[in-house]
Structure 1
Amino acid sequence: MEGNQAVLKGKAIFSGTLTVETGLHIGAGSDFAPIGAVDSTFVRDTLTHVPIIPGSSLKGKMRTLLAKKSATGYILHSIDQDNDVIARLFGMAGKNKVQPARLQFYDLFMTEDSKELFSQLDTDTYMGEIKAENVINRLSGAANPRFIERVPAGAQFAFKLVYNLETDDPQELQEDLKTLKEGLELITYDYLGGHGSRGYGRISFADLTLKGIGMPADQESKLVSLWEGIDA
């Protein structure tokens, strides 16, 4: 099995704010819902019960969108056939190749301002809203109602993402940062979570900044300039 370990030359920390533009549902999973109860709840922080966005949801969506963008056919290829840039950004664990991920995603927690705002509102659930949906039987016309818990529009989350700097090759670095920026932009024109075809899960990013850790100041300055100069 081929491995690809690289020397760590520093870390680039991306920080910003993710805003929920339309109700967001990332399911917590439930095997049973009593009659009249919410059929599908969203994932919460176990300790505080405040809504969170798992980093795995953001990573999985971004990788899938980038893979679709680079696909050459109608059918999306398997994950072990992702191109070199996607493989080194998101990682690879195939039969013949192991590629550690350069990107490290964090779970997203509600900002303090959003927690204060939504804790004072009269919402359907604690910091959540209930959206009634109907599945209509085409033959009989009968409605099958269900109730989905969503993070309300306007909620803001602290976004954090780490990129491991493992190369001095300017072309490779350009490819990595350009692909990352493309991934972030693609998500804003798609959706996070479930029921996206119904309008759920639209998000936006704001105030994205880059800070270098464990690298010389001139290297950090070059990274910032490169990032700001890239058109997704």
Structure 2
Amino acid sequence: MLHRFSRTELLIGPQSLAMLTQSKVAVFGIGGVGTYVVEGLARSGVGKFVLVDDDCICLTNINRQLHATSKTVGRPKVEVMRERIYDINPQAEVTVLQQFYMPDTADELLADDYDYIVDAIDTVTGKLDLVVKAKARHIPVISSMGAGNKLDPTRFEVTDIYQTSVCPLAKVMRKELRKRGVESLKVVYSREEPLKPVETAGSSCATGCICPSGTTRKCTVRNQIPGSIAFVPAVAGLIIAGEVVKDLIAGEKRQ
């Protein structure tokens, strides 16, 4: 009998689809990259999700984040994304954790039953800690490097962190992970040189912040807000989703 994942089953087979249905993937960071990761996983048949993000949808998210529309501005990102997963697959199991991942919240947000972890966090401290703790728990992890200030979606690559170049975030991650004894990390990164944002008085978050009421980490705390465009983080997110799916059906639930 035909079902919502029949076309996927034709490509990967019923056994692999069954494996995806039983797999639990935790996505940390439900923004420009993370929303497309979740979308790709949900439409591929992954059956169990943990979504982690403390943020609410801002008007400035509409240009690139899948869950951001005029109707969802001000709502928690994890809640809106959970609804989207259920619209795609009502049989999915979705846990949402509206918290900011940092070393002091790790114990509340990590669990040993995750089959895969996606790092789509935008802070170095959180990314480093998440990767180190995932490795310590022997949970496969893939990490997104910088997608901001980029315009060419064809420049993304899947590689090990120690094979990266150009990307400023990857440079910091390489240095800090080496200090922590992490020998490898699968990442998606862009070889495109970052562009310099063209900031005007009207586009400055520092002078015109419109973060939703209740936002705990306003954009004004950042030294510089990166420029972004719809098709760059989307491509990075879908590449990550593809890597997770391929690893899961290859049986790489534990390293």
TM-score of Structure 1 vs Structure 2, range by shorter chain: under 0.3
- The answer to which structure has the higher helix fraction is 2
TM-score, normalised via structure 1 length: 0.24
Which protein has greater RCO, CA pairs closer than 8 Å, 6+ apart? 1
- The answer to which structure has the higher strand fraction is 1
State the structure with more CA Rg: 1
